[in-house]
Amino acid sequence: MKKILIVDDSKTVLQVLRARLAEKGYSVLAAMDGMQGVMFAHRNEPDLIVLDYKMPAGDGSTVAQKIKLSAKTQDIPVVVFSAENMEELKPKLLAQGIVHFVKKPDIDGLISTIESLLQ
């Protein structure tokens, strides 16, 4: 069973994604802030990380940087799922090795992206 880590400070987003991904047969871990997300990524080595951009205790850019700099987690695909302006964020995140973006609230698009990355 593929393991997905969701890092988002919205309980609603976590609940909806956890339910939708569990229906698809994925094991889901959830972190409520950036620091917890980095810790969970290192401890659990998920197959994929879904990352919000604006969060307490480490924004998405900081979290992505820490994930991509660690030998233990650098190869884990990261999908940024955010309501932020993606055109403004893309250059910064691309420089950090993040190449997958889905605009909130497109959960169906996020699930399609996850499924294609984990095939």
Going by DSSP bridges, is the β-strand pair 78-82/3-7 parallel, antiparallel, or unpaired?
unpaired
Taking the chain (119 residues) in runs of 10, the rounded mean pLDDT of each run is 95 94 96 92 96 80 86 92 83 81 93 94
Domain with residue 76: its CATH number is 3.40.50.2300
Q: How far apart are CA 118 and CA 11, in angstroms?
A: 25
Instruction: For residue 7, give its domain range.
Output: 3-118
Predicted structure pTM score: 0.91
Q: What is the largest CA-CA distance in the chain?
A: 35
Per-residue exposure over 68-86, b if at least 16 CB sit within 10 Å of its own CB, e if not: beeeebeebbbbbbbebee
Number of domains in the chain: 1
Position 32 scores a pLDDT of: 92
